[in-house]
Amino acid sequence: MAKINFGGVEEEVVTREEFPLEKARETLQDEVIAVIGYGVQGPGQSLNMRDNGFNVIVGQRKGKTYDKAVSDGWVPGETLFEIEEALEKGTIICFLLSDAAQIELWPTVKKYLTAGKSLYFSHGFGVTYKDQTGIVPPAEVDVFLVAPKGSGTSLRRLFVEGKGLNSSFAIYQDASGKARQKAIAMGIGVGSGYLFETDFYKEVTSDLTGERGTLMGAIQGIFAAQYEVLRANGHSPSEAFNETVEELTQSLMPLVAENGMDWMYANCSTTAQRGALDWWKPFRDATKPVFEQLYNSVKAGEQANISITRNSQADYREKLEEELKELRESEMWRAGTAVRSLRPERN
């Protein structure tokens, strides 16, 4: 493990240099990696592992996603199977169904977790909230996770571009004495940038906080608040959308990604810098109580409970679609559609 100083705190992390792809392949050469589920993480991880030369099969029930797997080059009867058949053939079972669906399939998965096999997650959810999920792995299997810090779609896209998303990894159960090596090898195999270690509890609590917070929930909330204030004061949708979203995603966030916040600030006017430096703390102070409320709710298991309850309902997809439609059909995001259609590269 490489010791790296993260802002004054030393952490041990795994880089691709110290755990090269060849070593990962060697570690897993006798394994059949069965990716169960072909939603968002399933395609990203399985295709990256296949392209990296691992022995991968996919297990997916028949339907639209099964057909997508076929069009991605998985061959029925050779590398693509019904879930139970893949569970039987696999020695590392990658449980990549949605967290709610994992509950329903768990009794089936458990049947195939014989001694010597491994159970792999990309989330600490199932075992951390075992009181709610009933997921308690048998003692004689290795249990570990690799959680890519981003969408499976980006995991695949970045891999194809020769880049990589960072991932965390964690060991829950080490029956073989080799769980750690296997977990790291899987992390390298799915196309991670660097790997940092965590545990199942910390993975799920940070993940549920992040996606409800700055990554997805808070960002939409703050966009909506600013957009609404601008519109209420007579600004056009074009002006409000550009000043709230388009400039951020197209101009300023790429600068933050490249070299940090002060670098982005430094590339803006002194007027903008003065205002940003004066206003970031009031925004922090206003939102911090909401983040604290969120974290406490995650810690109490409430967010897991909501996610399980809502996503287990028979009509959850229709209801989800209604809520996504509300976003899509809001003035702000319809304005966004128009703005994107006018990007020079789209013509």
Ligand X SMILES: CC(=O)[C@](C)(O)C(=O)O
Ligand Y SMILES: NC(=O)C1=CN([C@@H]2O[C@H](COP(=O)(O)OP(=O)(O)OC[C@H]3O[C@@H](n4cnc5c(N)ncnc54)[C@H](O)[C@@H]3O)[C@@H](O)[C@H]2O)C=CC1
**Taking the complex as a whole, how short is the minimal distance between the CB of residue 45 and ligand Y, in angstroms?**
9
Would the annotation count 203 as a binding residue? Answer: no
Q: Is 203 in the site for Mg ion (CB under 5 A)?
A: no
Give backbone dihedrals phi and psi of 215, rounded to 5 degrees, phi first: -70, -40
Q: Is 239 in the site for ligand Y (CB under 6 A)?
A: no
**Catalytic residue among 50, 117, 123, 156, which?**
123
In this complex, which beta carbon is closest to Mg ion, that of residue 214 or of residue 337?
214
Would the annotation count 82 as a binding residue? Answer: no
- Contacts (Cβ under 8 Å, ≥6 apart) of 216: none
Q: What is the DSSP letter of 345?
A: G
Q: Is 99 in the site for Mg ion (CB under 5 A)?
A: no
Answer yes or no: are the C-beta atoms of 134 and 108 closer than 8 Å: no
Helix axes 302-311, 270-299, angle to 10 degrees: 80
Answer yes or no: are the C-beta atoms of 81 and 89 closer than 8 Å: yes
Q: Which residues bind ligand X (CB under 6 A)?
A: 149-151, 207, 211, 215
- Of 27, 48, 98, 198, which lies in the binding site for ligand Y, with binding defined by CB under 6 A? 98
Residue 128 site contact among Mg ion, ligand X, ligand Y, none (CB < 5 to 8 Å, cut-off depends on kind)? none
Determine the Cα–Cα distance for residues 87 and 298; give it in Å rounded to an integer. 31
DSSP labels for 282-338? Answer: HHHHHHHHHHHHHHHHHHTTHHHHHHHHHHTSTTHHHHHHHHHHHHHTSHHHHHHHH
Whether 123 is catalytic = yes
Q: Is 210 in the site for ligand Y (CB under 6 A)?
A: no
Look at residues 227, 121, 130 and name the one whose alpha carbon lies nearest to residue 183: 121
In this complex, which beta carbon is closest to ligand Y, that of residue 79 or of residue 287?
79
CA distances from 209 to 96, 125, 218, 221 (A): 20, 13, 10, 15
Would the annotation count 122 as a binding residue? Answer: no
Determine the Cα–Cα distance for residues 166 and 225; give it in Å rounded to an integer. 31
Please list every residue from 104 through 143 that binds ligand Y, using CB under 6 A: 104-105, 122-123, 125
Would the annotation count 269 as a binding residue? Answer: yes
Q: Is 213 in the site for ligand Y (CB under 6 A)?
A: no
Please list every residue from 34 through 93 that binds ligand Y, using CB under 6 A: 37-42, 60-61, 65
Question: Binding residues for ligand Y, how many (CB under 6 A)?
Answer: 23
Residue 104 site contact among ligand X, Mg ion, ligand Y, none (CB < 5 to 8 Å, cut-off depends on kind)? ligand Y
- Of 207, 265, 298, 332, which lies in the binding site for Mg ion, with binding defined by CB under 5 A? 207
Determine the Cα–Cα distance for residues 116 and 179; give it in Å rounded to an integer. 11
**Taking the complex as a whole, how short is the minimal distance between the CB of residue 39 and ligand X, in angstroms?**
10
Would the annotation count 85 as a binding residue? Answer: no
The two tokens of residue 347 are 């013509």
Q: Which stretch binds Mg ion (CB under 5 A): 32-40, 104-112, 201-209, 229-237?
A: 201-209
Determine the Cα–Cα distance for residues 15 and 219; give it in Å rounded to an integer. 30
Binding site for Mg(2+), residues? 207, 211, 243, 247
Binding site, residues? 207, 211, 243, 247, 269
Residues that bind ligand Y (CB under 6 A): 37-42, 60-61, 65, 96-99, 101, 104-105, 122-123, 125, 147-148, 151-152
Catalytic residue IDs: 123
